[in-house]
Structure 1
């Protein structure tokens, strides 16, 4: 059995984690997700990811499981499990396409639509809390910088700039 190292290697100890843009973005995303989950669990009985999926389907941005997998950067089996849970709760259904029987579209039930309609207020209140003390100009600048980061990531993965610039949701 290997004993844990009492001191980290110099490459690890020299790295300023708190100054890492990736780490900071990850922590902000985690904090935002946790705050949304606290609200959605208390008010709606679902997680932030489930609520976000309902919102994405309601908005028309993601109507196929593959689109959800791309949007959230998760594999198809994880999306299938997520959709299964939402379907079991009666919040969405799978609907075969009339044009292409291989394609299965996602559709919200009336209860799913009602939850999706509540999500902008939840997203806005969480974002307002996280951006407390920011001026409108600072908020606009932050959004501009984040759009540039997304555009750069899209270029790295061969996607279009439009897909990054059109992601102005508050979640």
Structure 2
């Protein structure tokens, strides 16, 4: 006797998951992070997510853990764990605001800044590898479409 739960529903067998835009974007994103970590781990001893977070703090784009969480689409506890790991390594510090003691800002240490300064070259190298064979126009068009998708999604 065949187990009814082992037969795919008709709507499942007709849906081509591998052709889903969301799936493809997710796979490309995962590939970018993995390729980045393949570079950052042996060179810097950190993951690409950690290097990216250091870059965001050093550049002033994210000065609070909550801003890192929003920027990366992660929950507050994941952002806290990321900051904890960077702080433990001596790459980042938490600085309590003197005007409002409830606010804790993030700051890179000199060692963290040195790593953050190396990240753009790594980002560029990974992007060039991933988009090898794309023309400048194709890359521009891809970026334009992704920006529009972000706007359509509310930011």
- TM-score by structure 1 length? 0.86
Q: Displacement of 1:5 after TM fit? A: 3.4
Q: Which runs of 5+ in 1 are unaligned?
A: 155-163, 165-171
Partner of 1:169: none
Aligned residues: 153
- Separation (CA, whole Å) in 2 of partners of 1:4 and 1:113: 58
Q: Displacement of 1:7 after TM fit? A: 2.7
Q: Displacement of 1:4 after TM fit? A: 8.8
Q: Which runs of 5+ in 2 are unaligned?
A: none
Structure 1 segment 97-116 matched on structure 2, within 5 A: 97-116=97-116
| 2:125 matches 1:121 | no
- Separation (CA, whole Å) in 2 of partners of 1:32 and 1:17: 20
Partner of 1:69: 69
- Separation (CA, whole Å) in 2 of partners of 1:136 and 1:63: 33
- Separation (CA, whole Å) in 2 of partners of 1:28 and 1:105: 32
- Separation (CA, whole Å) in 1 of partners of 2:88 and 2:115: 15
Give per-residue Cα distances to partners, 1:95-127, cap 9 Å, x unaligned. Answer: 011221110000000110000000000000000
Partner of 2:21: 21
Partner of 1:91: 91
After TM superposition, the runs of 4+ consecutive aligned structure 1 residues lying more than 3 A away are none
